[in-house]
Structure 1
Amino acid sequence: ARSFADIGDIVRGRDLYLRDKGGKTKLEKNLEKIFEYIKNKNKSTLESLTDKEIREYWWEENRETVWKAITCNAGGNKYFRPTCSEDTWSRDKCHCINDGVPTNFDYVPQYL
Structure 2
Amino acid sequence: DIIRGKDLYRGNKQEKDKLQDQLKKYFKELHNNLESEAKNYYNDDTKKFFKLREDWWNANRLDIWKAIICTAPGTAQYFRNACGGEHTMTYGQCRCVNGEPPTNFDYIPQYLRW
TM range (shorter): 0.5 to 0.7
CA distance in 1, matches of 2:96, 2:66: 12
Pairwise CA distance, 1:81: 3.5
Q: Using CA pairs below 8 Å that are at least 6 residues apart, which structure has the higher relative contact order?
A: 1
CA distance in 2, matches of 1:86, 1:31: 34
What TM-score comes out, normalization by structure 2 length?
Answer: 0.66
Contact map agreement 1:46 1:54 (CA 8 A) in 2: no
Pairwise CA distance, 1:65: 1.0
2:97 is matched with 97
Q: Which whole-Å deviations, capped at 9, do the CAs of 1:40-73 have from their partners, x for residues lacking one?
A: 1113323321311101111111111111010112
CA distance in 1, matches of 2:88, 2:53: 34
Q: 1:80 aligns with which of 74, 77, 82?
A: 77
CA distance in 2, matches of 1:59, 1:13: 11
1:46 is matched with 39
Pairwise CA distance, 1:13: 1.2
CA distance in 2, matches of 1:102, 1:96: 6
Percent of pairs identical after alignment? 43
1:56 is matched with 54
Which 4+ residue blocks in structure 1 deviate beyond 4 angstroms? Answer: 21-24
Unmatched segments (≥5 aa) in structure 2: none
Unmatched segments (≥5 aa) in structure 1: 1-8
CA RMSD after TM alignment = 3.2
State the aligned residue count: 101
2:28 is matched with 36
CA distance in 1, matches of 2:103, 2:5: 20
